[in-house]
Amino acid sequence: MNHIGEVIETSTQKFLCQSIKLNDGPDFGSFVKTTSNDITIYGIVYNVSTMSDDQSRKPVAFGLSEEELKMQQPQIFELMHTYFEVQIIGYKKDRYIGLIPPKPAKIHAFTYLCDESDLKCIRENLNYIKYILNSKTGIEDELIAAAIRNLHSYDSNEKTYLIEVGKELIRLLKNDFDRYVTIKRMCNI
Amino acid sequence: MKGKIFRGSISSGLDVKLIGDSIIEDVKVGNFIVVTGKKNKYLCMVTDIKYEAVNPQIMISGTDFDSEIDEKIIEGTGVYGVVTLSPMIQIDESKNPLTVKSIPSYGSYALDADKEDIYAVFGEPSEENFYIGTPPEMDIPICINLKRLVERSTGIFGRAGTGKTYLTRLLLSGLVKSNLAVSLIFDAHNEYGYGAKSENSGYVKGLKQLFGSKVAIFTLDRESSLRRQVPIDGVLNIAYNQITPDDILLLNSMLNLNTTAIESIYQIMKKEGNNWLYNFLNIDASEIDEYALDIGANASSLQALRRKLERFTKLPFLMEVVPNDCIKQIMDYLQNGINVVVEFGNVSTLGYMLVANIITRHIHDMYVKKSEEAIANNGKGPIPLIITIEEAHRFLDPSISKETTMGEIAREMRKYNVTLLIVDQRTSQIDSEVMSQIGTKITCRLEDDNDINSFLSGVNNASKLRNVLASLDQKQQALILGHAVPMPVVIKTRNYDQEFYKDISTYNDADFIDKPFLELMEKEKIDELFPD
């Protein structure tokens, strides 16, 4: 399997990756994993951005199409990169555990998109809801809605799964029912 | 249902949160629930059902959704069903039923009671435990302890058409079968002795048909009984000299006598002795003035009194001289353990009250005498007697219950082995002092607030039972509480049908149900004459 990025900043709660392709990072709300030492760390992508390597040099608008830019200013594409930030939701060591990993991901570790069996593990452990809701990413509600959208249709018991998730959400948001209603609407299922 | 205790106190009962697949609609007020604590089991009755929410906002906004998934998400998490239980009996580790003195541990499971739980509390059907019905949602016999029942007076109440008569018939059958007591039944509407029409299923058997020679029927209205082809054991006639002024006093509500009239009665009695009523009614109208002067009463009030007492002459069973002393005959039957049904045929209420009171008075005297003799000889008292009276409020109305023999029996005769089985529609019409003495109270649906209040007066947990009482079905459901049951219980009354006949009747012949009764009687007589 091909990796989609590489860890360039890391902590036990979040990590930042540089995408291998410019303008082509993973989708918002998609699940990714990275393996370091003997554990695989799982997370959800919550912010994708493209910017200059050198923070002091701002890109300028050239007024050219992408094709023309590639012809006339090919260096731009080398100086710019796409980054994505990941909120950690669990790790796997022998089995999947829906908790923050004991160690952060290693720097320069490769990042991969989660495959079906990974998604199945994440889906079964509802702890991801809590990590996302408390992630302080600024877009918790959108992120949880995206996560539910991505996970719910995964197998035939989708109704049962939605009910389980809904119950967990109400449990966590019992004091802010309006927020629950908003998230539910954003799930748009 | 399945739930877990999450709140509770001795005073307000236990609150159970419904869990799992329990649907709130399946839980009904009055149902039996068993809570299994760490040490004890608690048999409880559902007294209230409601919703609660972790956050009141959820309760309101939760209704904005209408998809099935949303409903399922909110149910049990945001909004959940709460069932309030009233613990009635506590069963300890060695399976002894005790009064509730503790509450189960937090988080104990609450489940529907099963056969074993119900038997542990109410006992299995036996000679002494009479199977009177089942829990409304289950098919498990609930028994009433007849031995305890006969120790105190019993009341059967309920609005017209709710099944009072059925219940009374069941209970009387049970009593006759058990031989624990002998019954004297004042059958105002001819419903208990022999077959009667039921409201839906046509014809039902009476006690005589079920128990043969264990039941004797006396009638006050021979013609009516003959028309209904009742095999009567005697025609009851009352002689004028058996009526005392006190009997007249009891009928005051119907005769509308004033105090002067009552005084006059005593004056007449003083002059005429026991036969006062007959003599007084036979005085020629023109001689009244002279008679008044003679006894020192007011002539016009005496005339008024006569006009009113003339109603007695219309009673068919009143005679100057009676061919045989039927009251004595009834007493003999009762003493020999034979149950007596007194049919009133088409006799007016006035007659019903008069006769019931006279017979009761004699019984009262007899039982007091017998009991006193028994005390003196240190022997066993007379066989317990249960007097069944319909329209009991006529005898136990607050204004007269202090005077009547019925009132006295209700209040203190249990010491002399006489108790009442009161059948009435309105509990509020019965003297509260009498109501408080009733040991076992059985009620079908009551609707009037006053009736409910007086039924529940003096009952523990009355406010909780109110909900239960209000939710009884219109038919065939009853709430039993008091001396004969270990805890208040709602029952679906057992059917009074062929199966019941087979179960209860002394005739063990399987086809007795369809046989003409008289044939059976003949056979019984022959069997008695020529035993095997």
Chain segment A33-67, per-residue pLDDT in tens: 999 888 999 999 999 999 988 888 888 898 999 89
Secondary element (H or E) of residue B134: strand B129-134
B227 & B251 share domain: no
Contact A174 B55 (CB under 8 A): yes
Average pLDDT of span B315-328: 83
Which region among A89-93, A175-179, B111-115, B391-395 has the lowest average model confidence (pLDDT)? B391-395
Question: Does B525 map to a domain?
Answer: no
Average pLDDT of span A19-46: 92
- Whether B26 contacts B46, CB under 8 Å: no
Question: Which one has a higher pLDDT value, A128 or B502?
Answer: A128
How far apart (Å, rounded) are the C-alpha atoms in residues A164 and B10? 36
Average pLDDT of span B374-401: 85
Question: Does B257 map to a domain?
Answer: yes
A13 CB-contact burial (10 Å; exposed 0-12 / middle 13-18 / buried 19+): middle
Partner residue opposite B58 with nearest CB, options A166, A177, A184 = A177
Residues 69-88 of B with CB under 8 A from A: 69-70, 72-74, 76-78
For residue B55, the chain A residues in CB contact (below 8 A) are 174-175, 177
Question: Which one has a higher pLDDT value, B290 or A11?
Answer: A11
pLDDT for A156 equals 66
What percent of chain A is modeled with pLDDT above 70? Answer: 98
Task: Look at the block and give the residue holding tokens 């307000």.
Answer: B12
* The two three-digit tokens of residue B229, written as one number: 């082809």
- Whether B13 contacts B85, CB under 8 Å: yes
Could you report the per-residue pLDDT of B210-231, keeping only the tens digit for each? 888 889 999 988 888 888 888 8
Residue B388's beta-bridge partner residues? B185, B421
B121 CB-contact burial (10 Å; exposed 0-12 / middle 13-18 / buried 19+): buried
- Whether B343 contacts B220, CB under 8 Å: yes
Average pLDDT of span B15-34: 88
pLDDT for B163 equals 84
pLDDT for A133 equals 92
B301 & B331 share domain: no
Residue B493's beta-bridge partner residues? B133
pLDDT for B246 equals 81
Cα–Cα distances in Å, from B531 out to A73, B209, B336, B338, B517? 128, 22, 21, 21, 21
For residue A159, the chain B residues in CB contact (below 8 A) are 69
Question: Does B478 map to a domain?
Answer: yes
Question: Does B27 map to a domain?
Answer: yes
Pairing of strands A80-93, A95-97: antiparallel
Cα–Cα distances in Å, from B154 out to A44, B45, B85, B446? 73, 22, 27, 17
Global confidence as pTM: 0.76
B226 & B152 share domain: yes
How far apart (Å, rounded) are the C-alpha atoms in residues A102 and A66? 44
Residue partners of B455: CB distance under 8 A and separation at least 6:
B157, B427, B435, B441, B443, B446, B469
* The two three-digit tokens of residue B148, written as one number: 């305890």
B79 & B217 share domain: no
The number of folded domains in chain B is 3
Question: Does B315 map to a domain?
Answer: no
B472 & B369 share domain: yes
- Whether B481 contacts B490, CB under 8 Å: no
Contact A177 B57 (CB under 8 A): yes
Q: Tell me what the pLDDT averaged over chain A comes to.
A: 90
How far apart (Å, rounded) are the C-alpha atoms in residues A27 and A44? 10
B63 touches chain A (CB under 8 A): no
pLDDT for B530 equals 64
B259 CB-contact burial (10 Å; exposed 0-12 / middle 13-18 / buried 19+): exposed
Question: Does B467 map to a domain?
Answer: yes
Question: Does B247 map to a domain?
Answer: yes
B386 & B257 share domain: no
Q: Is the pLDDT of residue B368 over 70?
A: yes
- Whether A12 contacts A104, CB under 8 Å: yes
For residue B62, the chain A residues in CB contact (below 8 A) are 177
ipTM for this prediction? 0.79
Average pLDDT of span B295-308: 84
Distance between the two ends of chain A, CA-based, in angstroms?
A: 31
Burial B361-386 (b: 16+ CB within 10 A, else e): bbbbebbeebbeeeeeeeeeebbbbb
Contact A167 B57 (CB under 8 A): no
Average pLDDT of span B258-269: 83
CATH code of the domain in which B493 resides? 3.40.50.300
Pairing of strands B318-319, B203-204: unpaired
B73 vs chain A: nearest CA distance in angstroms? 5
Interface A-B, measured as beta-carbon pairs within 8 A, has a size of: 39
Q: Is the pLDDT of residue B509 over 60?
A: no
* The two three-digit tokens of residue B312, written as one number: 């007695």
B431 vs chain A: nearest CA distance in angstroms? 55
Q: Is the pLDDT of residue B51 over 70?
A: yes
- Whether B85 contacts B101, CB under 8 Å: no
Half-sphere CA count of A131, side-chain side, radius 13 A: 25
Q: Is the pLDDT of residue A140 over 70?
A: yes
Q: Is the pLDDT of residue A122 over 60?
A: yes
Q: Is the pLDDT of residue B35 over 90?
A: yes
pLDDT for B263 equals 83
pLDDT for B75 equals 84
Q: Is the pLDDT of residue A28 over 90?
A: yes
- Whether B53 contacts B42, CB under 8 Å: no
- Whether A89 contacts A127, CB under 8 Å: yes
Q: Tell me what the pLDDT averaged over chain B comes to.
A: 85
- Residue span of the structural domain in which B21 resides: 2-113
Q: Which of B390, B394, B348, B385 is nearest to B365 (CA)?
A: B385
B18 & B150 share domain: no
B195 & B214 share domain: yes
Q: Which residue type, as a one-letter code, is found at position A122?
A: I
What percent of chain B is modeled with pLDDT above 70? Answer: 94
- Whether B206 contacts B219, CB under 8 Å: no
For residue A181, the chain B residues in CB contact (below 8 A) are 61, 64
B255 CB-contact burial (10 Å; exposed 0-12 / middle 13-18 / buried 19+): middle
Q: Is the pLDDT of residue B253 over 80?
A: no
What percent of chain A is modeled with pLDDT above 90? Answer: 58
B425 & B495 share domain: yes
B40 & B94 share domain: yes
A174 touches chain B (CB under 8 A): yes
Q: Is the pLDDT of residue B510 over 60?
A: no
pLDDT for A79 equals 87
Contact B69 A171 (CB under 8 A): no
pLDDT for B143 equals 92
pLDDT for B520 equals 61
pLDDT for B120 equals 84
A178 touches chain B (CB under 8 A): yes
Q: Is the pLDDT of residue B518 over 70?
A: no
Question: Which one has a higher pLDDT value, B323 or B119?
Answer: B119
pLDDT for A99 equals 93
B397 & B475 share domain: yes
Average pLDDT of span B194-223: 82
Question: Does B435 map to a domain?
Answer: yes
Residue B146 — pLDDT band, cuts 50, 70, 90? very high
Dihedral sign of CA atoms B75, B76, B78, B80 in order:
positive
Cα–Cα distances in Å, from B142 out to A4, B118, B491? 72, 7, 8
B233 & B345 share domain: yes
| Long-range Cβ contacts of B444-449 (<8 Å, 24+ apart) | B444/B156, B444/B157, B444/B158, B444/B159, B444/B162, B444/B163, B444/B164, B444/B167, B444/B472, B444/B475, B444/B477, B444/B478, B445/B158, B445/B159, B445/B162, B445/B469, B445/B472, B445/B473, B445/B474, B445/B477, B446/B157, B446/B158, B446/B159, B447/B159
pLDDT for A5 equals 94
Which region among A3-12, B472-481, B518-527 has the lowest average model confidence (pLDDT)? B518-527
